[in-house]
Amino acid sequence: MKIALVQSSLVWGDIEKNLALFDRKLAGIGACDVILLPEMFTSGSMLVKQDKRVADAEKNKTAACYERVRRLMSEWAEKRDALVMGSTVYNEGESYYNRMIVAFPDGKNLYYDKRHCFRMGGENEHFTAGRRHLFFDFRGVRIATFICYDLRFPVWSRNTDNYDLAVYVANWPASRRKVWQLLLQARAIENQAFVAGVNCVGTDTAGLTYAGDSAVIDAKGNVVGACREYKEEIKIIGIDMEELRRFRNKFAVSEDRDVFEIKGIDGLEVE
């Protein structure tokens, strides 16, 4: 399987420019199976240190474009014959979600709502936490989906033979880039799975800088491939499923895992 990490700057708060930007980027992408876009690729993380009224306005504006974004992602998936994944704002009743859309080449869509809302940026005041995992199969690889701050919670990312590849889309600031790098490796090692993390670059409206550090990690914690730091780049990286199977059979850590359940969630969605 080939994974395309689309490490890009974002036009903060400008949906039209961001959609046009990614439309151009994906039009020129090479052959691959999975295309990963950053968290909130439609707007950037508009909530960090903003006035509540401004944040609410940005949130509502982005949510109003959800169906358009979903359709566009489906078009990209069909044209590129690849899975396309990225998050945006979704509104349902009184609740707003940081929702990852998973667009398949055949027009099918799945979604995952961010479980852990980043309270240090006020995300918990504007968004509702997701209540379920998402695991699905694509071209022989079982994939799990996560968003940014979810990376800090190993229990939520725990692999109980549900997945071969964990995907994290993020807006992760450069001030904590070492944490991002180490936790991607930790999640790969402890879950004996490939991990793909895509992050943005540039500077947001609050003055936070993003280094990117998008990468694919193997089950031993080795970096299979990575984008250049602080640079816009599309990197296509292959993963070897046979290598993963051999390693799991030889070093069967999962056979000794503890058995427990997470309370307060709606269970799993498995496709």
Task: Decide: residue 190, CB within 10 A, 0-12 exposed, 13-18 middle, 19+ buried.
Answer: middle
H/E stretch holding 203 reads: strand 201-203
Quote the CA–CA distance of 95 and 97 in Å, as a whole number: 7
| Beta pairing partners, 270 | 135
114 catalytic per annotation: yes
Catalytic residue among 32, 114, 123, 235: 114
Query: What count of Cα atoms within 13 Å lies in the side-chain half-sphere of residue 161?
Result: 11
Residues near 86 by Cβ (< 8 Å), separated by ≥ 6? Answer: 36, 37, 38, 39, 41, 73, 100, 101, 169
Catalytic residue among 32, 117, 148, 200: 148
Taking phi over 0 as left and psi of -120 to 50 as alpha, with beta for the rest, 146 belongs to: beta
The answer to whether 136 and 5 have CB atoms below 8 angstroms apart is no
Q: What is the DSSP letter of 227?
A: P
235: tokens are: 């990197």
39 catalytic per annotation: yes
Mapped onto helix, strand or coil, the DSSP state of residue 169 is strand
200 catalytic per annotation: no
Active site positions, annotated: 39, 114, 148
